[in-house]
Amino acid sequence: MASMLLNSMRTCPVIFEFSDVSVQTKSKKTLARPSVKNIVLVEGVRTPFLMSGTTYVSSFHWGLLHKTGIPKDAVDYIIYGTVIQEVKTSNVAREAALGAGFSDKIPAHTVTMACISSNQAMTSAVGMIAAGQCDAVVAGGVEFMSDVPIRHSRKMRKTMLSLNKAKTLGQRLGLIGSIRLAHLAPELPAVAEFSTAETMGHSADRLAAAFGVSRVEQDEFALRSHTLAKKAQDAGLLKDVISFKVPGRDIVSKDNGIRPSSMEQMAKLKPAFIKPHGTVTAANSSFLTDGASAVLIMSEEKALAMGYKPKAYLRDFVYVSQDPKDQLLLGPTYSTPKVLERAGLTMDDIDVFEFHEAFAGQIMANLKAMDSDWFAQTYMGRKSKVGTPPTEKFNLWGGSLSLGHPFGATGCRLVTTVAHRLQKEGGQYGLVAACAAGGQGHAMVIEAYPQ
């Protein structure tokens, strides 16, 4: 799947046209700085995000080769983010690049940083361009929850490895004889913190409780996400989605997790993690998703020289980290004020907000934390709160709750969505923020490219 995206990246039109730009860009100062290279987002695409198990997409490496818009050697480097790695393709970026017909002379590496893996891929690309080492980098992310590697149990692995080394038949038989039925039980990868052994949903439920987020608030937010996603999908706003053909099946061209329901329906669900009194349910959480995303990032000079019309500038970004137990999912709270400070902006300057929605409860908790002077002073060492994003600017085309959340691929979706929304809504600045396992977080300021 990843290679398919890279294909489309190579075949992307030189000038991306927007038919329905209705609002003019407000005239605010630009964030360009004399000493810093302008780095632009040229294009962003993604596969439809599919609920895990709905379509089998793992053997997705067909060699569909199109005439390319980009010369084979114009891309200097490829970086991919992924969370759950296949043992056979631990450097999935390289395999995807080769499978997509990129020149085998383009190096590629894979990064991992939980749910902000593709953010890390993008900022790594930004770093390479800023350092003057590259001019054009493809960054992306991919996740196949339908085909995660399932390991043998530790005891079984140990026996199997010893078997390799066993020299005599007696030794082998002895080892085989030591296998017990229990050893055959497989080990599934868990969405749990290594340091605390707590699953993310459990932590999200505790976080929601800590900030007094009610079940109703969570369900309402989830419903909003699905409703807005449906609207955006129907209006054809999700232009970053490209169709692809699953061998032997139909062409897939839409995210399939969008399912606006009703508050009554959602209220019927039982809590998924903390039973029986928890508030996080399957309906107000993001679901396991398959999908891939990619962006083409270039120095402004290079993009213009090659005749591209960039979509946006990628400006300041930060990574933050905090207590993985009780503040696991508060990344946006910590990263937002920090990145705004770096960029010299305030919340009021931001026109477009795209936050990663891991859980409705997590988003609500973050919004409450951002609105609390006490929290800012007690835990963040800040003088005052940063404030909350206005609803009318926040995740207007749906979010991870409704579109889906392929861990490694969400970051590129957020950035591309901000770029598209800035163009559509005529804003100047956009803010991306996300939380990630390990108690980490990320935020990035994006500036519209003058149209």
Partner 1 sequence: MSDFFFFFFYCSSHQARTHVSYELKDDVAVIRLNDPTSKVNTLSVQMQSELSEVMGEIWSNGAVKSAVLISSKPGCFIAGADINMIQACKTSEEVTHLSQEGQKMFEKIEKSPIPVVAAINGSCLGGGLEVGLPGAFDMMLTGRNIRADKAKKMGLVHQLVDPLGPGLKPAEERTIEYLEEVAVGLAKGIANKKVALTKEKGLMQKLQDTVMGLGPVKQKIYKTVSEKVQKQTKGLYPAPVKIIECIKTGVEQGREAGYLAEAENFGKLAVTPESKALIGLYQGQVICKKNRFGTPEKEVKKLAILGAGLMGAGIAQVSIDKGLNTILKDTAVEGISRGEDQVYKGLNTKVKKKALTSFERDAILSNLSAQIDYTGFDSADMVIEAVFEDINIKHKVLKEIEAIIPPHCIFASNTSALPIKDIAAASKRPEKVIGMHYFSPVDKMQLLEIITTDKTSKDTLASAVSVGLKQGKIIIVVGDGPGFYTTRCLAPMLAEAVRVLQEGTGPKKLDTLTTSFGFPVGAATLADEVGIDVAAHVAEDLGKAFGSRFGGGNVEVLKTMVENGFKGRKSGKGCFIYGKGKKEKSVNSDAEEILQKYKLSAPPSVSSDSDIQHRLVSRFVNEAVLCLQEGILTNPVEGDIGAVFGLGFPPCLGGPFRFVDSFGAEKLVSMMRRFEDVYGNQFTPCQLLLDHAKDPSKKFHK
- Binding of partner 1 by 321 (CB under 8 A): no
Q: Tokens in use for 375?
A: 């929290």
Rounded-to-integer distance, Cα 408 and Cα 82, Å: 4
Exposed e or buried b per residue across 122-158, where buried means at least 16 C-beta atoms within 10 angstroms of its C-beta: bbbbbebbbeeebbbbbbbbbbbbbebeeeeeeebee
Single out the segment in contact with partner 1 by CB under 8 A; choices: 20-28, 155-163, 246-254, 272-280. Answer: 272-280
Site for partner 1 in 188-217 (CB under 8 A): 194-197, 202, 206-207, 209-212
Closest CA to 49 of 139, 118, 142: 142
Q: Tell the smallest beta-carbon distance from residue 88 to partner 1 (Å).
A: 28
| Of 288 and 369, CB closest to partner 1 | 369
Single out the segment in contact with partner 1 by CB under 8 A; choices: 67-75, 142-150, 173-181, 373-381. Answer: 373-381
Q: Tell the smallest beta-carbon distance from residue 330 to partner 1 (Å).
A: 9
Q: Which residue has the tokens 């900030």?
A: 211
- Binding of partner 1 by 281 (CB under 8 A): no
Of 27, 164, 374, 381, the one binding partner 1 (CB under 8 A) is 374
| Of 41 and 367, CB closest to partner 1 | 367
Rounded-to-integer distance, Cα 425 and Cα 444, Å: 19
Residue 91 burial class via C-beta count within 10 angstroms: exposed 0-12, middle 13-18, buried 19 and up? middle
Contact 431, 414 (CB under 8 A): no
Rounded-to-integer distance, Cα 331 and Cα 116, Å: 10
- Binding of partner 1 by 368 (CB under 8 A): yes
| Of 211 and 244, CB closest to partner 1 | 211
Three-state DSSP class for 86? coil
- Does the annotation mark 435 as catalytic? yes
Three-state DSSP class for 322? coil
Q: Tell the smallest beta-carbon distance from residue 278 to partner 1 (Å).
A: 9
- Binding of partner 1 by 174 (CB under 8 A): no
- Does the annotation mark 12 as catalytic? no
Catalytic residue among 202, 226, 356, 405: 405
- Does the annotation mark 134 as catalytic? no
Q: Tell the smallest beta-carbon distance from residue 225 to partner 1 (Å).
A: 23
Task: List the x/- string, 323-352, binding to partner 1 by CB under 8 A.
Answer: x-xxx-------------------------
Q: Tell the smallest beta-carbon distance from residue 232 to partner 1 (Å).
A: 32
Amino acid at 142: V
Rounded-to-integer distance, Cα 400 and Cα 414, Å: 9
Rounded-to-integer distance, Cα 356 and Cα 192, Å: 19
Contact 149, 86 (CB under 8 A): yes
| Of 209 and 304, CB closest to partner 1 | 209
Site for partner 1 in 376-395 (CB under 8 A): 378-379
| Of 212 and 344, CB closest to partner 1 | 212
Three-state DSSP class for 301? helix
Contact 308, 42 (CB under 8 A): yes
Residues lying near partner 1 in the complex (CB under 8 A) are found at: 194-197, 202, 206-207, 209-212, 274, 276-277, 323, 325-327, 365, 368-369, 372, 374-375, 378-379
Catalytically active residues, by annotation: 115, 405, 435
